[in-house]
Protein backbone atom coordinates (compact mmCIF):
# COMPACT_ATOMS: atom_id res chain seq x y z
CA UNK A 1 0.00 0.00 0.00
CA UNK A 2 2.80 2.42 0.86
CA UNK A 3 4.43 1.55 -2.46
CA UNK A 4 1.19 2.48 -4.31
CA UNK A 5 0.98 5.82 -2.47
CA UNK A 6 4.63 6.62 -3.33
CA UNK A 7 4.10 5.65 -6.99
CA UNK A 8 0.95 7.80 -7.14
CA UNK A 9 2.88 10.73 -5.66
CA UNK A 10 5.63 10.34 -8.25
CA UNK A 11 3.11 10.22 -11.11
CA UNK A 12 1.27 13.32 -9.82
CA UNK A 13 4.60 15.16 -9.42
CA UNK A 14 5.65 14.27 -12.96
CA UNK A 15 2.31 15.48 -14.34
CA UNK A 16 2.59 18.72 -12.37
CA UNK A 17 6.13 19.44 -13.58
CA UNK A 18 5.32 18.61 -17.19
CA UNK A 19 2.30 20.94 -17.14
CA UNK A 20 4.32 23.68 -15.44
CA UNK A 21 7.13 23.35 -17.95
CA UNK A 22 4.66 23.53 -20.85
CA UNK A 23 3.01 26.66 -19.40
CA UNK A 24 6.41 28.29 -18.95
CA UNK A 25 7.30 27.47 -22.56
CA UNK A 26 4.01 29.00 -23.77
CA UNK A 27 4.56 32.25 -21.85
CA UNK A 28 4.54 35.28 -24.16
CA UNK A 29 7.75 37.25 -23.61
CA UNK A 30 7.96 38.81 -27.08
CA UNK A 31 7.30 42.55 -27.28
CA UNK A 32 5.15 43.95 -30.08
CA UNK A 33 7.04 45.13 -33.17
CA UNK A 34 6.66 48.73 -34.35
CA UNK A 35 8.00 49.64 -37.80
CA UNK A 36 8.09 53.23 -39.01
CA UNK A 37 7.42 53.33 -42.76
CA UNK A 38 7.68 57.14 -42.94
CA UNK A 39 9.19 59.54 -42.07
CA UNK A 40 12.45 57.64 -41.69
CA UNK A 41 14.78 60.34 -40.38
CA UNK A 42 14.33 63.63 -38.54
CA UNK A 43 11.75 65.45 -40.60
CA UNK A 44 11.52 69.25 -40.91
CA UNK A 45 8.08 70.76 -41.48
CA UNK A 46 6.86 74.36 -41.70
CA UNK A 47 4.51 75.69 -39.03
CA UNK A 48 0.89 74.87 -39.89
CA UNK A 49 1.68 71.77 -41.95
CA UNK A 50 0.95 68.26 -40.64
CA UNK A 51 3.49 65.60 -39.81
CA UNK A 52 2.43 62.60 -41.91
CA UNK A 53 3.33 59.24 -40.40
CA UNK A 54 2.83 55.61 -41.36
CA UNK A 55 3.53 52.89 -38.80
CA UNK A 56 3.01 49.12 -38.83
CA UNK A 57 2.44 47.45 -35.47
CA UNK A 58 2.33 43.68 -34.99
CA UNK A 59 2.61 41.02 -32.30
CA UNK A 60 3.29 37.30 -32.37
CA UNK A 61 0.14 36.58 -30.31
CA UNK A 62 -2.32 39.45 -29.81
CA UNK A 63 -2.20 43.24 -29.48
CA UNK A 64 -4.04 44.86 -26.57
CA UNK A 65 -3.43 48.61 -26.97
CA UNK A 66 -1.67 50.95 -29.38
CA UNK A 67 -1.33 54.67 -28.82
CA UNK A 68 0.58 57.79 -29.89
CA UNK A 69 1.99 60.54 -27.67
CA UNK A 70 3.59 63.78 -28.86
CA UNK A 71 5.73 65.92 -26.54
CA UNK A 72 4.23 69.20 -27.74
CA UNK A 73 3.47 70.51 -24.24
CA UNK A 74 -0.29 69.88 -24.54
CA UNK A 75 -0.33 66.23 -23.42
CA UNK A 76 -1.32 64.99 -26.88
CA UNK A 77 -2.30 61.32 -26.76
CA UNK A 78 -4.33 59.25 -29.22
CA UNK A 79 -5.40 55.60 -28.82
CA UNK A 80 -6.19 53.36 -31.79
CA UNK A 81 -8.86 50.68 -32.06
CA UNK A 82 -7.27 47.27 -32.51
CA UNK A 83 -8.78 45.29 -35.40
CA UNK A 84 -9.11 41.50 -35.14
CA UNK A 85 -5.77 39.84 -35.77
CA UNK A 86 -2.22 40.51 -34.75
CA UNK A 87 -1.39 43.71 -36.62
CA UNK A 88 -2.50 47.25 -37.37
CA UNK A 89 -1.44 49.80 -39.99
CA UNK A 90 -1.60 53.41 -38.78
CA UNK A 91 -1.57 56.42 -41.08
CA UNK A 92 -1.63 59.55 -38.95
CA UNK A 93 -1.49 63.29 -39.68
CA UNK A 94 -0.46 65.25 -36.63
CA UNK A 95 -0.98 69.03 -36.55
CA UNK A 96 0.93 70.86 -33.84
CA UNK A 97 -0.90 73.57 -31.90
CA UNK A 98 -0.13 77.19 -32.83
CA UNK A 99 3.01 78.50 -31.20
CA UNK A 100 4.72 75.11 -30.83
CA UNK A 101 8.20 75.16 -32.37
CA UNK A 102 11.48 73.31 -32.29
CA UNK A 103 12.44 69.66 -32.10
CA UNK A 104 9.63 67.32 -31.06
CA UNK A 105 9.00 63.59 -30.89
CA UNK A 106 5.96 61.53 -31.82
CA UNK A 107 6.17 58.25 -29.90
CA UNK A 108 4.09 55.17 -30.74
CA UNK A 109 3.51 52.58 -28.00
CA UNK A 110 2.11 49.04 -28.24
CA UNK A 111 1.18 46.55 -25.52
CA UNK A 112 0.23 42.93 -26.11
CA UNK A 113 -2.24 40.80 -24.13
CA UNK A 114 0.60 39.56 -21.88
CA UNK A 115 1.64 43.09 -20.91
CA UNK A 116 4.78 43.30 -23.06
CA UNK A 117 5.26 46.90 -24.21
CA UNK A 118 7.43 48.49 -26.89
CA UNK A 119 7.77 51.97 -28.36
CA UNK A 120 9.21 53.73 -31.39
CA UNK A 121 9.98 57.43 -31.70
CA UNK A 122 9.71 59.71 -34.71
CA UNK A 123 11.67 62.94 -34.29
CA UNK A 124 10.70 66.06 -36.22
CA UNK A 125 11.37 69.80 -36.25
CA UNK A 126 8.71 72.52 -36.53
CA UNK A 127 9.96 75.72 -38.20
CA UNK A 128 8.34 79.12 -38.41
pLDDT value for 57: 98
**Phi, psi (5° rounding) for residue 23?**
-65, -35
Task: State which H helix or E strand residue 14 sits in.
Answer: helix 2-26
Look at residue 79 and tell me if it is in a domain: yes
The count of other CB atoms within 10 Å of the CB of residue 90 is 16
pLDDT value for 14: 47
The total domain count for the chain is 1
Q: What gap in Å lies between CA 54 and CA 36, rounded to an integer? A: 6
List pLDDT tens digits, range 6-61. Answer: 555 555 554 455 555 555 567 888 999 999 999 988 889 998 899 999 999 999 99
* pTM of the shown model: 0.78
**CATH number, residue 38:** 2.60.40.10
* Residues constituting the chain: 128
Q: Could you tell me the pLDDT band of residue 84, with boundaries at 50, 70 and 90? A: confident
Q: Is a pLDDT exceeding 50 seen at residue 110?
A: yes
Helices and strands, counts by H and E, the chain: 1, 8
pLDDT value for 108: 98
What are the residues facing 109 on neighbouring strands? 67, 119
Q: 86 is in which domain, residue-wise?
A: 33-127
List pLDDT tens digits, range 29-40. Answer: 899 999 999 998
Q: Report the range of poorest mean pLDDT among 1-5, 65-69, 80-84, 110-114.
A: 1-5
Amino acid sequence: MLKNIINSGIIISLLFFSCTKKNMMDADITKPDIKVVYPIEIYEIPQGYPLCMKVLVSDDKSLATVWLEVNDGTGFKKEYAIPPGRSIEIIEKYNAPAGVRGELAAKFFATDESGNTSSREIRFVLNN
